[in-house]
């Protein structure tokens, strides 16, 4: 069993009432940088941010309207860190033309020295699709084709793609990504998401429990991977922990080991906190007291 990597969804950048903590409402770029740098100092593998463009009025109370732009935020963080990877969890590809997506991510990867991970998802807010003039019912097909088109644009300066939604050739784009193959991790826990991750992705980011539970989901995505077009290529399986309370180290270690033993490669952890300082203290304590025991 390999070493488990850890990541953190950053606070402040998105403030849905489902998970945002009260202190985040008064925080800004200074605290965001503080937390990202704490994660880097603690040896975390990545920090992650979300993606929404415009929240419909009927969703604003639950979701809030505080959603900073994904690429702008990750680019800002790239300039104040040196090692930690930069993940979108997740970027809604159907909102954008694949050439626009590829340009943004290639630039981020070049600026960050090869630290970008494109976590891609299908999207779920129908009113947001409507505001952008995009067909909500076609979002799965648009994501499937979008992944193919973005991958082609990231792989070669001379870009060509022919599909039912996008068709282009005879164009080229620089800068090129610093990574030879910029990872694309697929978010979601539905049956189509598992199939998409296995057949088109370099990794899987579950969002909620798959049908039959996490163990069944991992078995299914591995089965699909082995039978699919990307069989034999590297594949990262992720997992999410609930908010961790570090008061009982043995309990936390046991819980994370139980996730590890399912066969995952990385776990995105979270902590309850009353301030950015408290969150950074928990990140440091986790790195010192918990992470080494999970990987023991």
Predicted model pTM: 0.97
How confident is the prediction for the chain on average, in pLDDT?
97
Q: Considering the chain, what percentage of its residues have pLDDT values greater than 70? A: 99
What pLDDT does residue 1 have? 46
Asked if the model's pLDDT at residue 227 lies above 80, the reply is: yes
Q: What is the DSSP letter of 209?
A: P
Question: Domain boundaries in the chain?
Answer: 5-294
Mean pLDDT along residues 38-51: 98
Q: Considering the chain, what percentage of its residues have pLDDT values greater than 90? A: 98
Q: What angle do CA 165, 171, 172 make, to 5 degrees?
A: 120
- Tens-digit pLDDT profile for residues 49-64: 999 999 999 999 999 9
Q: Would strands 5-9 and 266-271 be described as parallel, antiparallel, or unpaired?
A: parallel
What pLDDT does residue 242 have? 87
What pLDDT does residue 36 have? 98
The per-residue b/e assignment along 53-76, b for 16 or more CB within 10 angstroms, e otherwise, is bebeeebeeebbeebbebbebbbb
Under CATH, domain 5-294 is a member of which superfamily? Luciferase-like domain (3.20.20.30)
- Tens-digit pLDDT profile for residues 234-266: 999 999 998 999 999 999 999 999 999 999 999
- Tens-digit pLDDT profile for residues 143-181: 999 999 999 999 999 999 999 999 999 999 999 999 999
Mean pLDDT along residues 267-286: 97
Q: What is the DSSP letter of 230?
A: T
Q: Is the backbone of residue 164 left (phi > 0), alpha (psi -120 to 50) or beta?
A: alpha
**44 — pLDDT class (breaks 50, 70, 90):** very high
- Tens-digit pLDDT profile for residues 280-296: 999 999 999 999 999 98
List phi, psi (to 5°) of 60. Answer: -65, -35
The widest CA-to-CA distance across the chain, in whole angstroms, is 60
**2 — pLDDT class (breaks 50, 70, 90):** low
Mean pLDDT along residues 44-52: 98
Asked if the model's pLDDT at residue 38 lies above 90, the reply is: yes
């Amino acid at each position: 069993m390999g070493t488990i990597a850890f990541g953190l969804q950053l606070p402040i950048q998105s403030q849905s009432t489902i998970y945002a903590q009260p202190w985040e409402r008064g925080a800004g770029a200074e605290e965001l940088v503080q937390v990202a740098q704490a994660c880097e100092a603690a040896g975390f593998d990545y920090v992650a941010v979300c993606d929404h463009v415009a929240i419909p009025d009927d969703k604003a109370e639950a979701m809030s309207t505080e959603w900073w732009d994904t690429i702008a935020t990750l680019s800002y963080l790239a300039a104040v860190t040196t090692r930690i990877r930069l993940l979108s969890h997740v970027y809604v590809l159907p909102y954008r033309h694949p050439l626009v997506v590829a340009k943004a991510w290639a630039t981020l990867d070049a600026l960050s020295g090869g630290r970008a991970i494109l976590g891609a998802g299908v999207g779920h807010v129908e009113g947001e699709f409507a505001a952008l003039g995009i067909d909500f019912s076609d979002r799965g097909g648009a994501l499937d084709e979008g992944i193919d088109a973005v991958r082609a644009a990231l792989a070669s300066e001379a870009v060509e793609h022919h599909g039912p939604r996008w068709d282009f050739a005879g164009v080229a784009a620089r800068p090129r990504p610093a990574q030879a193959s910029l990872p694309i991790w697929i978010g979601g826990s539905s049956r189509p998401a598992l199939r998409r991750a296995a057949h088109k992705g370099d990794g899987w980011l579950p969002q909620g429990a798959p049908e039959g539970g996490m163990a069944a989901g991992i078995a299914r995505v591995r089965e699909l991977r082995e039978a699919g077009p990307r069989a034999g290529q590297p594949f990262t399986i992720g997992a999410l922990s609930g908010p961790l309370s570090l008061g009982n180290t043995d309990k936390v270690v046991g819980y994370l080991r139980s996730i590890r033993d399912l066969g995952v490669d990385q776990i995105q952890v979270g902590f309850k906190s009353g301030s950015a300082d408290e969150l950074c203290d928990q990140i440091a304590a986790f790195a010192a007291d918990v992470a080494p025991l999970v990987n023991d």
